[in-house]
Structure 1
């Protein structure tokens, strides 16, 4: 009887069952380990992000020990030597620069995305898309250097201005930087529109123009809004390229060619000149906290839009 049981345990069916049991146990262990690793990574990442936000916010809020909230947010006078810390100038400049950049870049980006998806032949698509991906990866300092050496002299020549740096130069540089990002995201949003919607529109006698602007783009509206907001977030937080072409002067610009400053440029130009426990430094940290808060709100808004689908 014992010999019979031994022979049965060595049959192919028994061996296969043993292997399946062992494999199933190992797979279970791997799945558990992977889930634990993902959970631990998420917790650590969340703690790091939370620590950054808390540190910057906690340090920045110390500025209000010596400066009133009203002065900081509504005064346009920033003069650390006179203990005047009004950030309204930089906040207004940041929003003005971002708005001008999006006015220039959004029509171009969406128009190019429509061309790629709806008009361009496959060979052209295969050229434009990798080119846009390449432009996204170029370091911002290269854009800034090209703006400093080529764009600013060009603006001075065609306008006759004494100086070419200012909001216009910064907006044009940011437009070139933001355009590939918004275009690729818009491309994906338009491509995600179901084929049946296009076919139904053409079946009803719509021209390509009518189908694109009255059917396809409205159907891709949420994805396009996400693309624009992410482009705004990049323009809002860009630093090095802006520093090189905006002029970095704490004054309200009279024209688009007047040197001025924004939140990012003011922080990077002054952060090395201050003592950590000074009101000046706390003011710079509060500026950084404002940027961080706005950027995160934009990302949260985009995630909410994407969660609802195209």
Structure 2
């Protein structure tokens, strides 16, 4: 009887903690919508989403965020093109190829890279990488789309690598042994058995890495250049949505159109990151179902 009472109390405590987290999230989302939606009382959502001019200090202000959305998507896609192969191949090497001694050395460094503050990476991109790109490529400024994408790729690699390695590690050993017993080489087993079996988990890793890239603030604020234009070149300075919020919120008059527009940008960013997380969750669910069926 006493044990059952303790178990119920423990379950109630866990439910209360989980409920507190949900309430906190609901409060943040509610506040975001309360502060962002008033903009659309007198400003068209179509003009906001598809307008190409962002001049919040004009009278009346122009709040077209198409260049900001294009910059966010461009930075995310380009950084993912760099980070996904590097992260996945690193995970394959660590889990399938590397000796145990090498794995013990490399894996902590990958995890340490994930622990680096984003402001440190942004500072390196601004001070070290930007002058290098400007000198080598002859760009007008080293703070551009390519610079921000390279730094974001470095940030995303640890996430992609860690989650992909977990997915590869979860592949049953019997699948590898069966492939080798049938005469397949080690590389054929990796390419045709192990990686396809872990593909759902690797997809989750990619979505999580892209979600981190699109929501990152300090790196794009420091390394992207801050120009509110639709990029036509890798060397164009850009201003993704998180950078606009961080750069302008302190200067926007309280409850002004500019203030509400920045919260409206946050709403758009919220839905984009939510979409990435839902896709990652869906892929992970398929991965769990596939693992259960294989057992």
TM-score normalized by structure 1? 0.89
Q: Output aligned runs, 1:1-310, within 5 Å.
A: 25=2, 27-82=3-58, 83-308=61-286, 309=288, 310=291
Return the offset for 1:252: 2.1
Q: How many residues align?
A: 286
How far apart in 1 are the matches of 2:11 and 2:65? 46
Tell me which structure has the larger Cα radius of gyration: 1
Q: Are the aligned partners of 1:66 and 1:279 in contact in 2 as well (CA < 8 Å)?
A: no
Distance in 1, matches of 2:119 and 2:57, equals 30
Structure 1 unmatched ranges of 5 or more: 1-23
Counterparts of 1:49 and 1:174, CA distance in 2: 26
Normalised by the length of structure 2, the TM-score is 0.94
CA-based RMSD of the aligned residues comes to 1.3
Structure 2 contact 70–231 (Cα < 8 Å) conserved? no
Relative distance call for 1:304 and 1:161 in structure 2 (3 A) is closer
Partners of 2:20 and 2:139 in 1: CA distance: 52
The more displaced of 147-156 and 60-69 is 60-69
Unaligned 5+ residue runs, structure 2?
none
